[in-house]
Amino acid sequence: MLQDLIKLGLSDKEARVYMAMLEMGPSSVTEISKKARITRTNTYHILNALAVKGLVSTHEKKSKMIFAAEDPERIISMLEIKLKEIEDGIRHAKKILPEFKAIYKNPSGKLKVKFYEGVEGIISVYEDTLTSKSTILSYGSVENEHAFMPGYIPEYYERRAGRGIHLKAITAYTELSFAIKALDKRHLRISKIVPLDFQISPEINIYDDKVAIMSLKEKFGAIIESRETADAFRKLFNLAYERATEYDEKIGDKYNPEIEKKMRKEMKRKQE
């Protein structure tokens, strides 16, 4: 239960003090501090903080201050107040954002490159794509996405679609590619499946004035922010997408494991 209170926004010490009061009923600060195993001085500060959140009431009894936990229903009220404050903050941020953008000094023509390491870094790159104001152009391996981040990627698809961000994708002939393509409408995506010869390991996303590269095998990501570079990659993608559309029409919508086996054998033969 202590961890539940922490998840709801209380600190570890606040949760311990609140739990102590729930179990003991109205008590003095000395009794609460002993039960919660926190110093008496700290307990005073924590009680004041809980009172501000509406979770503690006080009254005087025989010249001694007595503290009592409010009904746990107040936790819902506390969260509702916090939610309203966050929503108000978001509305205000959206209102003033254009003013900050107007004074933001971002020298045009200068290339900006950000590097990220590890799975957390790659997730940061994916999160940046969720800021896109344009259709994301994506070329990569869906197998790598799902193999390295099985919990994150499906949720990412839903969040991207939930924000109304469309995506065009080029993926190679695999069973998973067909399964994902079947959900294109739900995920605001148009997938084109190409022969395995054209499978690439890193994923490349082009959006707004950015090019994102995510290497799940080598565990790094990079975001290149440059209008000129993004425009060049966009043209290259569109060229590849035209050819991918031709392949996709020939391949059709049904996966055939024998075709994939044949493609893999052909790839192996070419590499020998």
Q: What is the pLDDT along the chain (272 residues), one digit of tens a residue?
A: 778 888 877 888 888 888 888 888 888 888 888 888 988 888 888 888 888 888 888 887 877 888 888 888 888 888 888 888 888 888 888 888 777 766 655 555 567 899 999 888 999 999 999 999 999 999 998 887 877 787 888 899 999 999 999 999 999 999 999 999 999 999 999 999 999 989 888 999 999 999 999 998 888 999 999 999 999 999 999 999 999 999 999 999 999 999 999 988 888 887 76
Domain end position, chosen among 69, 86, 104 = 104
In this structure, the strands spanning 64-69 and 56-61 are antiparallel
Element (H, E) at 207: strand 203-207
Can you give the residue range of the structural domain that contains 206? Answer: 112-271
Domain end position, chosen among 73, 104, 135 = 104
CATH number at residue 66: 1.10.10.10
Say how far apart CA 168 and CA 38 lie, in whole Å: 57
Query: Same domain for 122 and 236?
Result: yes
Query: Same domain for 165 and 68?
Result: no
Query: Same domain for 243 and 117?
Result: yes
Q: What is the pLDDT of residue 108?
A: 53
CATH number at residue 242: 3.30.870.10
Query: Same domain for 119 and 222?
Result: yes
Query: Same domain for 177 and 265?
Result: yes
Written as one string, the DSSP assignment of 95-130 is: HHHHHHHHH----TT--EEEEEEHHHHHHHHHHHHT
Written as one string, the DSSP assignment of 21-62 is: HHHH-SB-HHHHHHHHT--HHHHHHHHHHHHHTT-EEEEEET
The model carries a pTM of 0.60
Query: Same domain for 138 and 250?
Result: yes
Count how many domains the chain has.
Answer: 2
Q: What is the pLDDT of residue 249?
A: 95
Domain end position, chosen among 104, 128, 155 = 104
Query: Same domain for 122 and 72?
Result: no
Query: Same domain for 171 and 202?
Result: yes
Query: Same domain for 132 and 72?
Result: no
Query: Same domain for 217 and 256?
Result: yes
